[in-house]
Amino acid sequence: MTDEPTTRSPSLSPSPIFVAAGDDEALRLPDSADLLKHLRFSPRDGKITLGDERMVLVHLGALVALRGELIAALGVDRARAILTRMGYVSGHRDGEYARRLRSGASYFELLAAGPQLHALEGMVSVTPLEIQFDVPRGRFRGEFAWRNSAEVEAHLASDGRAAEPVCWMLVGYASGYTSVFMGRPVIYRELACRACGARRCRIVGTALGDEAPPPEFAFLAPDRPVDHGGAAVRNVVAPEPAELAIDVIGKAAGLRAAWSLLERVAATELPVLLAGEPGVGKRHLARAVHARSRRTGPLVALRAGGLRPDELDEAIARARGGSLLLADLGEASPELQARLLHALERADEAPRWLATTREDLRRPGALRTELLHRLGMFPVHVPPLRERREDIPLLLHRFLREQSIALGKPLPGITERANDALLDHDYPGNVGELWGLVARAAVLVDAGEAIDRGQLFGEHERGPTRFALDERGGLQPVEPGETSGGERAAPGELIDALLDHPLELESLEQTLIRRAVERAGGNLSAAARMLGLTRPQLAYRHRKGDG
């Protein structure tokens, strides 16, 4: 550290260095409005989201109870390790989110998003005291003061004055967030805590070198097992909790439940039937099941529709010792179904049977009952993408990385408008549609440029729909800049026309919404884009009108 207070502005130069000491102006956090506007409350869906991350409101009393139960059951050291780990994961996720949201910001603005998000989440108010970092060289030192720590309040409410600092989750969060920012492990220590009688909590963070992390951060050591009361679990720096298995990406509850079932059945010989809408990734999951099976032969995939019985025999021969995937099983002809039943009865040298379907095979006439019983004995439903929107950012990241490699150009990410549009879209084509949108936009965007909404949706992206009054005073949609008769109209003329035909404002709004929904063929996301609204905003207004 320097002896005199010095300040150099953060930058994105090859050697960005920022040093500040005793300079309140230099250490003032930037405006957090860009973070706050991404906090959404959706009571009807039972969700609170911050950008693409789902959040929850938890009573402080519940935190008090959890903390007390952990200490009573595991002891102080293990309870501290668990809560620190919990905070670390939260900070790590916020770090990834902030890196996407403030991709073009200075290093200091990116670092500041951590304290700002922590405050927005109701955990603590953060004041920077001293910061020094050099990202390329992996050097970091930061000192911060905390006010209104939720953990301090929880501890004082349950146990009173403490002998040692108690902000375990907060320390874990700061370490997880700054580790993402620096690209290497950063460890914070709480030097003063209000629970111990200090006026305010104070922490100091430094980049971890060759030294071993403290016990509560043992999970940062790549080869060090973490003691969880008898079970040795290996952890690594910056884990990827969203990756359920090799090449299976998703954190939504529906996908996790499906993959949990598939993991259980993969090593058996049971046939598996994957059901779901087109594009949800059924074939992808089938390949993952085959990869985890005991079979050493190939995976042979065929589409059941139009497949001849003699072609089935050839495919069975090629899949010997491996797996045979029949896609769209409901499209199999009666002749093929009969041949399948015969093949299933031959146990020797038979392949592992996998199948997919986009329709309900239990409906009358869809499939022979005995064939459904044989191939559908272990059905797994794969939910559509609109029911697991929290997976969209994860898939987007993977697709951008793949396209960047394929096209040989950097693709840093997407704009805020593009992100909102992707989260609001209904995805009738599911994951396959998202991949197509990203692949198209990756071709259109210049190297190093963030993808915008128009590059994703192209000609399907429409501006707000314009309306004009017909002779009876009704509203008719028209092309931008045109009246219902084909003449160009100024906004003032349309407003005057509306005022000449008295119409309640609420009635006008509902008429606009109904026409937009009709024009979009019932697709609320498309209608929302026409009106310049988000899908939740349109859905709320649409429901209000129907009620």
Domains observed in the chain: 17-234 (3.30.1380.20), 245-383 (3.40.50.300), 386-460 (1.10.8.60), 466-546 (1.10.10)
- Given a cut of 70, is residue 258 above it in pLDDT? yes
177 vs 21, higher pLDDT: 177
Q: How confident is the model at residue 249 (pLDDT cuts 50, 70, 90)?
A: confident
Q: Give the type of residue at 387.
A: E
- Given a cut of 80, is residue 66 above it in pLDDT? yes
Give dist(CA 140, CA 143) in Å, integer: 10
With 0-12 CB in 10 A as exposed, 13-18 as middle and 19+ as buried, what is 364? exposed
Question: Residue 322 CA to chain centroid, in angstroms?
Answer: 34
Give dist(CA 147, CA 177) in Å, integer: 19
Q: How many CB atoms lie within 10 A of CB 488?
A: 10
Q: Give the type of residue at 528.
A: A
Out of 162-166, 329-333, 413-417, least confident range: 413-417
Q: Please, are residues 180 and 243 in contact by the beta-carbon 8 Å criterion?
A: no
pLDDT at 240: 33
pTM score above 0.85? no
pLDDT at 238: 30
DSSP 414: B
Mean pLDDT across 484-493: 48
- Given a cut of 60, is residue 492 above it in pLDDT? no
Q: How confident is the model at residue 32 (pLDDT cuts 50, 70, 90)?
A: confident
Q: Helices 416-424 & 524-531, crossing angle to 10 degrees?
A: 140
- Encode pLDDT of 204-240 as tens digits: 999 876 566 777 676 555 433 333 333 332 222 233 3
Q: Please, are residues 423 and 391 in contact by the beta-carbon 8 Å criterion?
A: no
pLDDT at 192: 93
- Encode pLDDT of 67-111 as tens digits: 888 888 888 888 888 899 899 989 988 888 887 777 777 788 888
Q: Is the dihedral of CA 77, 82, 88, 91 positive or negative?
A: negative
As given in the structure block, the two tokens for residue 343 are 């093949």
- Given a cut of 60, is residue 489 above it in pLDDT? no
Q: Which residues pair with 126 in a beta bridge?
A: 146
pLDDT at 438: 93
